[in-house]
């Protein structure tokens, strides 16, 4: 897909990096970004502020309860099926059979403070995940498959042009079938070292082509300081920089040295970084006008029904995104992504735009000036167009992001807190 630019700058406290940081998102119709770098400016980066999502605040007791429950659940070996947050009123735990004593004990401890229902499931999550991945890899025309949160079966997507058998004949599990597009890949513009997440980054794809994406979060891997972005943004060995802006020249960011395609994770070693992300709007001049920043407090698992935000360098921060599916498997640029999370704006306002790929997906912590990392923007549903925000020109109300839980668990990546 073509390159998309995202804007992010930290205008209050450090150099306004808005022209140098790029966020890239992938979704059922997302566009990958590549970046061009510019030199650091002498302007301060943006200070605290930005999104405060009341939906997330009202859900905090349920999110905290879900975290407690997950701490005693072994998703890979147990009969756990799913957790669903119903607005801010109820937590639903789905289990095939009877939950073990350790889980029942935690649920009992939480119930005096949080409404919790334990409901039966037909299948365990581990069974549904394996079948979803098999279907997408089968070459039968299934472009996306995900476990239903209640453990009753699978959500399956096929394209309108697909010549294939009914998916219900391809698996013994119950399926809900929809017709739609396959997921496709989707900066703040003058970031400087120490680098933040949510900024525009770019690489030279060819002598005449530049690819741009958004940086996700700062962290450590194998003893190196790194920025994470989406794997579809580029290969290992690609040299990343910040874009040339109206006022600021490009500067070098780093050379990607590790890529895990099925997790949508690309790691770029950098000289220095901080545990912060860009928030607020997008200023492509790199001056950081209308942009803010937030510190990163840690990472956590996303939950179905949870409201989250994403901060892309083309769309700016977008909140009130409700998670609808987890463990989504989909094919992106020929690679099967296995840790996808689907989220959408129920009012069909913009959730993500081309150029947001790779950017941070997060929830607010108890301090609204700090965030909990949930994932990295991956793709968008191209059949769900929306009116754009920021400087994006192609936008969608449904997106897909890569679950940070799996990235941390499989790659040794640790989040840098600020």
> Is 82 a member of any domain?
yes
User: How many angstroms separate the CA atoms of 357 and 3, rounded?
Assistant: 10
The beta strand positions in 333-386, using DSSP E, are 335-344, 352-353, 360-364, 370-380, 385-386
> Is 331 a member of any domain?
no
Task: With 0.95 as the threshold, say if the pTM is over it.
Answer: no
Where is 125: in which H helix or E strand?
helix 125-137
What pLDDT does 162 receive? 55
What pLDDT does 263 receive? 96
> Is 85 a member of any domain?
yes
Question: Is residue 250 within 8 Å of 243, Cβ to Cβ?
Answer: yes
> Is 63 a member of any domain?
yes
> Is 99 a member of any domain?
yes
Would strands 80-86 and 370-380 be described as parallel, antiparallel, or unpaired?
unpaired
Q: What tens-digit pLDDT sequence spans the chain (418 residues)?
A: 333 323 333 332 333 333 233 223 332 333 332 333 333 333 456 656 555 678 898 999 999 999 999 999 999 899 999 999 999 999 999 999 999 999 999 999 999 999 999 999 999 999 999 999 999 988 878 889 999 999 999 999 987 665 555 666 788 999 998 888 777 665 367 788 899 999 999 999 999 999 999 999 999 999 999 999 999 999 999 999 998 765 577 889 999 999 999 999 999 999 999 999 998 888 776 666 677 889 999 999 999 999 999 999 999 999 999 999 999 999 888 899 999 999 999 999 999 999 999 999 999 998 888 999 999 999 999 999 999 999 899 999 999 999 999 999 999 999 999 9
The answer to whether the bond into 390 is cis (omega within 30° of 0) is: no
User: How many angstroms separate the CA atoms of 30 and 5, rounded?
Assistant: 13
> Is 246 a member of any domain?
no
> Is 273 a member of any domain?
no
> Is 77 a member of any domain?
yes
User: How many angstroms separate the CA atoms of 70 and 371, rounded?
Assistant: 20
What pLDDT does 292 receive? 81
Domain limits at 71? 54-120
The beta strand positions in 209-359, using DSSP E, are 209-214, 218-221, 224-229, 239-241, 252-255, 258-260, 265-269, 273-280, 291-299, 307-312, 316-332, 335-344, 352-353
Instruction: Provide the domain count of the chain.
Output: 1
User: How many angstroms separate the CA atoms of 164 and 142, rounded?
Assistant: 8
What pLDDT does 290 receive? 73
Residue 222 burial (CB count, 10 A): 12
């Amino acid at each position: 897909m073509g390159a998309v630019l995202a804007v992010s700058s930290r205008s209050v406290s450090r150099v306004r990096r808005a022209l140098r940081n790029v966020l890239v998102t992938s979704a059922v119709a997302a566009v990958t970004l590549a970046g061009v770098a510019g030199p650091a400016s002498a302007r301060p980066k943006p200070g605290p502020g930005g999104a405060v999502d009341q939906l997330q605040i009202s859900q905090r007791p349920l999110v905290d309860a879900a975290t407690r429950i997950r701490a005693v659940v072994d998703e890979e070996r147990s009969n756990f099926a799913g957790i669903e947050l119903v607005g801010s009123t109820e937590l639903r735990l789905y289990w095939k059979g009877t939950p073990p004593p350790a889980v029942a004990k935690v649920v009992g401890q939480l119930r005096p403070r949080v409404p919790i229902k334990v409901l039966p499931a037909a299948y365990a999550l581990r069974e549904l995940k394996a079948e979803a991945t098999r279907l997408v890899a089968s070459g039968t025309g299934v472009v996306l498959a995900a476990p239903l949160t209640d453990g009753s079966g699978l959500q399956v997507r096929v394209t309108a042009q697909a010549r294939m058998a009914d998916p219900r004949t391809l698996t013994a599990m119950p399926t809900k079938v929809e017709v739609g597009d396959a997921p496709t890949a989707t900066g703040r513009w003058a970031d400087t070292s120490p680098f933040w997440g949510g900024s525009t980054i770019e690489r030279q794809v060819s002598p005449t082509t530049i690819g741009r994406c958004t940086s996700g979060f700062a962290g450590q891997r194998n003893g190196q300081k790194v920025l994470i972005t989406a794997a579809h943004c580029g290969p290992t060995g690609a040299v990343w920089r910040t874009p040339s802006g109206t006022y600021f020249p490009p500067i070098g960011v780093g050379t990607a040295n590790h890529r895990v395609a099925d997790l949508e994770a690309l790691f770029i070693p950098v000289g220095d970084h901080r545990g912060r992300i860009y928030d607020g709007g997008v200023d492509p001049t790199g001056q950081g006008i209308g942009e803010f920043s937030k510190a990163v407090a840690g990472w956590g698992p996303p939950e179905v029904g949870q409201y989250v935000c994403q901060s892309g360098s083309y769309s700016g921060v977008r909140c009130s995104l409700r998670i609808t599916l987890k463990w989504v498997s989909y094919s992106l640029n020929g690679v099967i992504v296995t840790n996808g999370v689907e989220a959408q704006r129920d009012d069909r306002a913009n959730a993500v735009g081309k150029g947001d790929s790779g950017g941070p997906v997060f929830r607010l912590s108890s301090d609204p000036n700090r965030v909990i990392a949930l994932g990295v923007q991956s793709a968008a549903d191209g059949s769900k167009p929306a009116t754009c925000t920021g400087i994006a020109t192609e936008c969608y109300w449904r997106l897909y992001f890569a679950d940070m839980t799996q990235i941390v668990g499989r790659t040794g990546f640790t989040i840098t807190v600020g």
